[in-house]
Structure 1
């Protein structure tokens, strides 16, 4: 055997369809893996030289082999909770949601706080925000905290308000609101930063923290998600578990790579320490994040012009713009990467303005600053992403905010003039911006197949509108896959190690049960993962 092939592969994965990420179509051949690295990729005859007596060989026929999915925007702890808590998206009324919570609470009597997710008043028959009294009927003495579908608001019962110290005298926090009735009493709904007043709901004992993290890792492996960017900040709350992440990393139990972000504020000493401390192959500090605005559903996204169905507001910023710019310039000067939540077109512009100010103050560098969501944009700002080197981080599933196209509230919020510029994925890509895709789990599920379907078709679940919502913004399957692999790897400064199937890269490889390039997009969401390999180890096999 030649010196070139002195090391036999541990694994050889062969298929008629291998998407390396380097071309638009899959190739036939095999991938050889040695240790935690890809040894070779090529035709089966070339890879045969790497097969030794102990090499494990897998033949996948026409199933698609590709790099592991790299979800560029999740909230890991929240998502873990959602998997193990009550899920309320199917409720059609306030009372039905409360009964679902009651059923869950009866089955889980030992949980001190009942935590739930994904109720959405716009899906309810009366479309009204809920009241604490409905929960109080079933839970007079047990605190309840229920995130709405966007996790930008929460519904609490009276006991939860009491434990959080929220009364009629409690002032609204900056950029948040305690909803009140005509007598000034809290109704039980907390907007944006007001949710942090009840953050004691998330103080969990060690055994539950282990269960939450392991539940997420198992779920991610089953879906072929081998890397994530974990956003700790959630409108003034930081929800992450670094201690548990590090324990799993050091004991070789971390089966998904975690790139985590903490809150951007005026104090940079804490992130400086994290940057020095967390830099393993599987657990890395990744940067700073904050919120420029809220979300269109509650009119808290910051718009350049008034909402089409509420002409008295343009939404608002969650921090004073001059403070945002100061923090941006200071953090950029210290070499930090910054990621801003920005849904409205005015918030997107504000983020770009701040990044431009940082370049003027500190000089141009490879910062890979990022704007999250970009749910609507002013056309004059599209070219600025590539010009400034700013990454658009997009979550295609948010396009279908309602089951049916006719029920999508964004249509009435934005109006006909702005609708063509909603989720401008293809326009940003064509302008030269480097696209990174993710899910925003648990606002929607972690399933990459759903995101691919939405990016390629832009259809709602009712198949409408014909041709897709803003069909000019559809992208190809190959583009969507790259956005979900090498695009996110690049955005996390890991393109040299992750995101494509190339010799020398880390062996994060998945096999799907069919070739996506040979099926109709309607089948994408039926596709499952047959095998997930992370760091050269099989972490899931169907």
Structure 2
């Protein structure tokens, strides 16, 4: 069993720096007790989850039966008998009844307020009135909790959105940990006040930037080296934001020098290659710096760029649902040969790249079960590829879950804080009503969430 000695429960999460001090104090107390011939009993946990099937995403302890939580953090992971030692008179005990417990899902790419407005207004995502902004955000947060999503990176966050999230955080009303990535054209707003990547609290952080290199395959604006098969006069286009490219290079070089993390939307193979060219230039300046540059979508790559992406340690932030959506018609647009390097998640892993999974909600559904189903089956939405479109690119379920938890945490510099069921990490968990590792992958869309826990607090339950 793995355990840590932490101070008694608090309503707010323990700060990372303080947690290191507590670990040291716990070790000293244990040594002192050993010298006196006595033992130090475990403090009582606030919450125990027992009789569960825990898939930890921690290679040092892959499976467990039970978890102990104090405050916002995990203090022990082990067998039922081992975790029973943490029970006290006031401990809340959750009987897992054999159900599967995973780290909470971390969506690497969403648009929260746009999604909230759509939930509030049906299919209309127009700008909400000031009075409707908070209800839209609350609907989006509740939807995420119902689906077991406990963290997300919000792309293209506006100043008004950030102010609302700060208001919710101040009221302890956030049930989703958010990493905000405003537009890169406004990089000075963060840099001028000294914000760097990952700045903020456990629930709300800034320090990232979102940019658009090219457009989309569907609109024929994704930028390719060769013309579209169904539009031979076009290879796509750079966005206005990246025209001329030299201006974007200058702007992003300054943003990078200020310590901000850059995440660029790049879809076509030439768009991805140009993003990698830029990242190669940035990385040549202080090459030892941990930048975790990101390419959002990374849908189409020429073969050489799979290796280059891995060598530059760029995070591929991908959305598998787009593969089963676009796979219905992508070959008509770009041909079978180029399609073999499209949505190539297994090739990315094989070449050594890091994956972070997400949905682009509300452009795609937020439900992690639909994302996992897309990643492991690649069965297109039209039913024409039941065994998978480009089946060599299917991910294993284990790899997909890891990319959706620990991979997305890494993409936001938070792998030491969340992404696995590990002692000392935040107690962000999801309990499912079926063991997805023991089920037919085709049944993933039918799997539901029984309970979602964020920082040791139940934010959704069907019980």
Measured after TM superposition, the shift of residue 17 of structure 1 is: 1.6
Distance 1:241 1:289 in 2: 15
* TM-fit CA distance, 1:78: 0.5
- The residue number in structure 1 matching 2:311 is 387
* Contact 2:68 2:76 (C-alpha < 8 Å) held by counterparts: yes
Cα deviation for residue 424 of structure 1 reads 1.1
TM-score, scaled to structure 2: 0.87
> How far 1:280 moved relative to its partner?
1.2
Partners of 2:199 and 2:207 within 8 A in 1: no
Contact 1:437 1:483 (8 Å CA) reproduced: yes
Residues 1:502 and 2:422 aligned together: yes
Could you tell me how far 1:362 is from its partner in structure 2?
Answer: 4.2
CA contact (8 A) 1:258 1:283 kept: yes
1:81 aligned residue (92, 96, 117): 117
Distance 1:24 1:515 in 2: 21
Paired position in structure 2 for 1:63: 99
Offset, 1:469: 1.1
The one of 179, 190, 208 equivalent to 1:287 is 208
Q: Does 1:229 align with 2:149?
A: no
Question: Among residues 258, 270, 295, which one is paired with 2:178 in the alignment?
Answer: 258
* 8 A contact 2:120–2:135 mirrored in 1: no
Q: Tell me: CA distance 1:3–1:65, structure 2 relative to 1, closer, same or farther (3 Å).
A: farther
Query: Which residue of the partner structure matches residue 279 of structure 2?
Result: 355
Alignment of 1:433-444 (within 5 A): 433-444=353-364
State how far apart, in whole Å, the 2-side matches of 1:240 and 1:524 are.
37
Residue 56 of structure 2: which of 13, 17, 20 is its match? 20
CA-CA distance at 1:325 after TM superposition: 2.0
Distance 1:267 1:420, change over 3 A: closer
Unaligned residue ranges in structure 2 (runs of 5+): 1-32
After superposition, where does 1:280-429 map in structure 2 within 5 Å? 280-318=201-239, 319=242, 320-401=244-325, 408-429=328-349
Contact 1:11–1:34 (CA under 8 A) maintained in structure 2: yes
Q: Bigger CA drift: 25-34 or 301-310?
A: 25-34
Is 1:218 matched up with 2:142? yes
Per the TM alignment, residue 322 of structure 1 is displaced from its structure 2 partner at its CA by 1.8
Shift of 1:385: 1.4
For residues 83-124 of structure 1, the C-alpha deviation after alignment (integer angstroms, 9 at most, x for no partner) is 12233xxxxxxxxxxxxxxxxxxxxxxxxxxx34xxxxxxxx
With normalisation by structure 1, the TM-score equals 0.75
- Distance, in Å, in 2 between the alignment partners of 1:487 and 1:518 is 22
Q: Give 2:22's aligned residue.
A: none
User: Where does residue 10 of structure 2 map in the other structure?
Assistant: none
Please state how far the C-alpha of 1:289 moved relative to its aligned partner: 1.0
Aligned partners of 1:41, 1:538: CA distance in 2, in Å? 18
The CA deviation at 1:311 is 0.5
- Displacement of 1:477: 0.7
Structure 1 unaligned residues grouped into runs of 5+: 88-114, 117-200
Q: Which moved more, 1:281-290 or 1:5-14?
A: 5-14
> In 2 relative to 1, CA 210–343 (structure 1 residues): closer, same or farther, beyond 3 Å?
same
* Contact residue 152 and residue 177 of structure 2 kept, 8 A: yes
* 1:446 CA drift (Å): 0.7
The answer on 1:50 being equivalent to 2:79 is no
Name 1:522's counterpart in structure 2.
442
CA apart distance, 1:463: 4.0
Provide the secondary structure at the position in 2 that maps to 1:480.
helix
Is the partner of 2:263 in helix, strand or coil? strand
Q: Do the aligned residues in 1 keep the contact of 2:224 with 2:235 (CA within 8 Å)?
A: yes
2:127 aligns with 202
SS at structure 1 position matched to 2:210: strand
Other-structure match for 2:14? none
Q: How does 1:240-255 map to 2 (within 5 A)?
A: 241-255=161-175
Contact 1:455/1:474 (CA < 8 Å) preserved in 2?
A: yes
Could you tell me how far apart the structure 2 residues matched to 1:229 and 1:267 are?
17
Partner Cα separation in structure 1 for residue 182 and residue 417 of structure 2: 23
Distance of 1:365 and 1:305 partners within structure 2:
35
Cα deviation, residue 209, structure 1: 1.2
What's the offset of the Cα at 1:534? Answer: 0.4
Give the whole-Å Cα distance in 1 for the aligned partners of 2:61 and 2:186. Answer: 47
Residue 136 of structure 1 is matched in structure 2 by none
**Counterparts of 2:102 and 2:325, CA distance in 1:** 29
SS in structure 1 of the partner of residue 193 of structure 2: helix
3-state SS of paired residue (1:273): coil
CA shift, 1:417, in A, is 1.3
Distance of 2:66 and 2:401 partners within structure 1: 19
RMSD after superposition: 2.1
1:539 equivalent to 2:459? Answer yes
SS at structure 2 position matched to 1:538: strand
Residues in 2 aligned to 1:203 and 1:270: alpha-carbon distance in whole angstroms: 25
Partner SS for 2:85? helix
**Partner-residue secondary structure (3-state), 2:427:** coil
